[in-house]
Structure 1
C-alpha cells in the first residue's frame, strides 16, 4: 500500500493468534490450542483522520503453538512441536506459504471500524469481514479484533486422529491486539 499510514508487526508488541477447539468422541484427549503467528505485517493506509485500507500478510510457517487447554496431559515442548507440525501439514504450508487479507471497504462503526475485504488462505480467496474495536487509552489507541474462519471454506480439512474420534473444530478464531501511540 502507498500513502501515509501505519505498519504493524509482531515487533511492535502486536499479537496475531489462532485459537482452535476439539470435537469428537475422544475430544477430552485433545488440547484447545493457542497458536501465535510470529511473522506477519499489516499496513493501514489513512485518508485524513481515518483508515482507508488495510492489507495483512502472514507467513504460515511462522506459527508457534504457545499454549493448550484441556487434554489428558499438559501440553509441553515435544507435544507443542508435534501440534505445530500437524498444523503446518494441515495448512499445506510448503505449497501455500502465505495468508493474506486486503480490504475493499472500511466503514466506521460505533466502537471502531468494519473491514470488508478478501481473505486468501490455502490458495482460496473469499470475502470476509472483520470488526476492529478501537479504544481510547489516553496516550494511545487500543486495537482489537476477533473473527471466525471456517477451514473447510478454504479447502482445508481440519486435523483429526484416532479415525476421526478426535479432531480440530472446523471454525478457528483469529484474534488481533495492538496499541498505537496517538498522532499529534
Structure 2
C-alpha cells in the first residue's frame, strides 16, 4: 500500500505501541525481559510525502492501559499473577503514578526522510516532564510503517524497578516500538 498525503487517525485498531524492557544486575537471570503494550491510546499523523517538513505526529497514551504481553527469560515462567502485579506497579505504585499523570504524550517537532526511512523528532512527556526523543522508522511490507526509539527512564524521573535488594534491576533504557498496519483517514467514521 502506497502512502498518500492526508490526515490519519492512529490507535489500537490499526497500530500497536510496545515497550520492551531488559534486565541488569547480578540477579538478572531471575527476572524477565518484558513486552508491554499500550491498549488505550490515540494519535494523529499528517502525511505530506513530498514535503516531510510539513508532516506531523501526535500520540496520547493512557498510563493505566499498559498490559504485559510477554515475559521471556527468568528462572520460572511469568504467571498471570506476576503480570497483574507488574501492571499495578507500572500504573500506580512506583513508576508512572497514573492518578497524578494519566497520560503520556508525544508531539513531533520535525519529520525528515522518506516513507521508506524516516526520523521523527519530538517532545515526549512522561510524569509531567518533557524531553526530546528521536523515533527511527521504516515503511515496507505488511506492517506499512514501523519504528523504534530508545528511552532512558531516569530522564523522566522513573526509577527502574529493582528486586532482591537491587540484585535484579530493569535496565534504565527501554525500547519503545510502533507498528502501523493500515491508515485510517481522520474524517472516516469509526
TM-score under structure 2 length normalisation: 0.85
Deviation at 1:71, TM superposition (A): 1.1
Q: Distance in 1 between matches of 2:156 and 2:183?
A: 36
Q: 2:158 aligns with which of 131, 156, 159?
A: 156
List aligned pairs for 1:128-139, cutoff 5 A: 128-135=133-140, 137=141
1:58 and 1:95 mapped to 2: Cα distance? Answer: 14
Question: What RMSD in Å do the two structures reach over aligned CA positions?
Answer: 2.2
Give 1 or 2: higher strand fraction.
Answer: 1
In 2, Cα distance between equivalents of 1:172 and 1:24: 15
Partner of 1:97: 102
* Local SS of the residue matching 1:78: helix
Residue segments in structure 1 that go unaligned for 5+ positions in a row = none
Unaligned runs of 5+ in 2: 1-5, 186-190
Distance 2:184 2:77 in 1: 41
Query: Where does residue 34 of structure 1 map in the other structure?
Result: 35
**8 A contact 1:149–1:174 mirrored in 2:** yes
CA distance in 2, matches of 1:156, 1:102: 20
Of 50, 66, 70, the residue aligned with 2:69 is: 66
Contact 2:24 2:171 in 1 (8 A): yes
Cα distance in 2 for partners of 1:47, 1:110 equals 10
Q: Which residue of 2 aligns with 1:19?
A: 20
Across the two proteins, how many residue pairs are aligned to each other?
A: 177
Query: Is 2:83 aligned against 1:80?
Result: yes
Query: Is residue 130 of structure 2 the alignment partner of residue 121 of structure 1?
Result: no
Q: Which runs of 4+ in 1 moved over 3 A?
A: 46-51
